[in-house]
A and B are shown apart, each in its own frame.
Chain A
Amino acid sequence: MKRRWLRLAAVSAVALTLAACGGGGGTTPSGKPAAVPSIPMKQSIGKGEGQLNLIAWAGYVESGQDDPKVDWVHPFTQQTGCHVNVKVAGTSDEMVTLMRTGQYDGVSASGDASLRLIYGGIVAPVNTKLVPNYADVAPYLKDAAWNSVNGQMYGIPHGYGANVLMWRSDKLPSAPDSWSVVFEKNSPATGHITAYDSPIYIADAALYLKAHNPSLGITNPYELTQKQFDASVNLLKQQNAMVHDYWSNYLNEVHAFKAGDDWAGTSWQVIANTAQSEGAPVKTIVPSEGSTGWSDTWMIASHAQHPNCMYKWMNWIASPQVQAQVAQWFGEAPANPKACAYTEKGFCQTYHVKDYAYYKRVAFWATPIPSCGNGQNNCVDYSKWTQAWTDIKG
Chain B
Amino acid sequence: MTTTSVTDRPEAPAGPTGHRLSALLHNRPGLRLGGLLAGPVAWLGVVYVGSLVVLLISAFWTIDTYTGALIRSFTLTNFETLFTQSVYWHIIGRTVAIALAVTVFDFLLAMPMAFFMAKVASPRSRRWLVVAILTPLWSNYLVKAYAWLVMFSNGGLIDWVTKPFGVGNPGLSTTATVITLAYLWLPYMVLPLFAGLERLPDSMLEASGDLGARPWYTFRHAVLPIVTPAILAGCITTFSLSLGDYIAVSIVGGTTQMIGNVILSNVGSANNLPFAAALAIVPAVIMLVLLAAVRRTGALDAM
Are A17 and B66 CB-contacts (below 8 A) given A259-B153, A261-B154, A391-B85?
no
Q: Which of B21-29, B70-78, B104-112, B209-217 touches A?
A: B70-78
How big is chain A's contact interface, by range? 35 or more
> Is B65 engaged at the interface, CB distance under 8 Å to the other chain?
yes
Chain A residues with Cβ below 8 Å from B71 are: 27-29
- The 8 Å CB contact of B154, one of A121, A248, A259, A370, is A259
Chain B residues with Cβ below 8 Å from A243 are: 254-255
Q: How far is the CA of A383 from the CA of B266 in the complex (A)?
A: 9
- The 8 Å CB contact of B270, one of A10, A34, A386, is A386
**In the assembled complex, how far is the CB of residue A188 from the closest CB belonging to chain B, in whole angstroms?**
16
The majority secondary structure among interface residues of chain A is: helix
Chain B residues with Cβ below 8 Å from A383 are: 63, 65, 270, 272
Q: How far is the CA of A370 from the CA of B64 in the complex (A)?
A: 12
**In the assembled complex, how far is the CB of residue A377 from the closest CB belonging to chain B, in whole angstroms?**
12
Interface string of B21-41 (1 = CB under 8 A from A): 000000000000000000001
**In the assembled complex, how far is the CB of residue A243 from the closest CB belonging to chain B, in whole angstroms?**
5
Q: How far is the CA of A244 from the CA of B251 in the complex (A)?
A: 12
Q: How far is the CA of A119 from the CA of B270 in the complex (A)?
A: 17
Are A386 and B266 CB-contacts (below 8 A) given A12-B45, A27-B69, A261-B172?
yes
How many chain B residues touch the partner (CB < 8 A)?
47
Q: How far is the CA of A93 from the CA of B268 in the complex (A)?
A: 6
Q: How far is the CA of A383 from the CA of B63 in the complex (A)?
A: 9
A21 B87 Cβ-Cβ under 8 A = no
Interface-centre pick from A10, A17, A116 (highest chain B CB count, 10 A): A17
Q: How far is the CA of A16 from the CA of B42 in the complex (A)?
A: 12
> Is B155 engaged at the interface, CB distance under 8 Å to the other chain?
yes
Q: How far is the CA of A28 from the CA of B66 in the complex (A)?
A: 11
Chain A residues with Cβ below 8 Å from B69 are: 27, 100, 120
Interface string of A87-106 (1 = CB under 8 A from B): 00011111011001000000
A393 B45 Cβ-Cβ under 8 A = no
Are A17 and B53 CB-contacts (below 8 A) given A245-B172, A252-B251, A386-B272?
yes
Are A96 and B271 CB-contacts (below 8 A) given A13-B46, A393-B257?
yes
Q: How far is the CA of A244 from the CA of B49 in the complex (A)?
A: 41
> Is B162 engaged at the interface, CB distance under 8 Å to the other chain?
no
Chain B residues with Cβ below 8 Å from A38 are: none
A91 B70 Cβ-Cβ under 8 A = no
> Is A25 engaged at the interface, CB distance under 8 Å to the other chain?
yes
> Is B50 engaged at the interface, CB distance under 8 Å to the other chain?
yes
Interface-centre pick from A12, A16, A119, A261 (highest chain B CB count, 10 A): A261
Q: How far is the CA of A29 from the CA of B172 in the complex (A)?
A: 41
Q: How far is the CA of A71 from the CA of B136 in the complex (A)?
A: 39
B64 A245 Cβ-Cβ under 8 A = no
Chain A residues with Cβ below 8 Å from B234 are: none
**In the assembled complex, how far is the CB of residue A190 from the closest CB belonging to chain B, in whole angstroms?**
13
Are A119 and B272 CB-contacts (below 8 A) given A21-B72, A390-B262, A394-B257?
no
Are A240 and B255 CB-contacts (below 8 A) given A13-B49, A93-B269?
yes
- The 8 Å CB contact of A259, one of B155, B250, B255, B269, is B155
Considering only CB atoms, which chain B residue lies closest to A388 in the complex? B87
Name A1-53 residues within 8 Å CB distance of B.
9-10, 12-14, 16-18, 21, 24-25, 27-30, 34
> Is B127 engaged at the interface, CB distance under 8 Å to the other chain?
no
Considering only CB atoms, which chain B residue lies closest to A17 in the complex? B53
Chain B residues with Cβ below 8 Å from A391 are: 85, 87
Q: How far is the CA of A381 from the CA of B270 in the complex (A)?
A: 11
A245 B254 Cβ-Cβ under 8 A = yes
B268 A91 Cβ-Cβ under 8 A = yes
B269 A199 Cβ-Cβ under 8 A = yes
Interface string of B61-94 (1 = CB under 8 A from A): 0111111111111000000010001011011000
4 extra interchain contacts, Cβ-Cβ under 8 A, other than A34-B66, A245-B172, A390-B265? A261-B171, A369-B66, A390-B91, A394-B87
A-B contact pairs, 13 of them (CB 8 A): A9-B45, A13-B49, A21-B72, A34-B67, A97-B68, A100-B69, A120-B66, A243-B254, A252-B251, A259-B153, A259-B154, A261-B153, A391-B85
Q: Which 9 A-B pairs have the closest CB atoms?
A: A120-B67, A386-B270, A93-B271, A259-B153, A260-B154, A383-B65, A391-B87, A245-B254, A25-B72
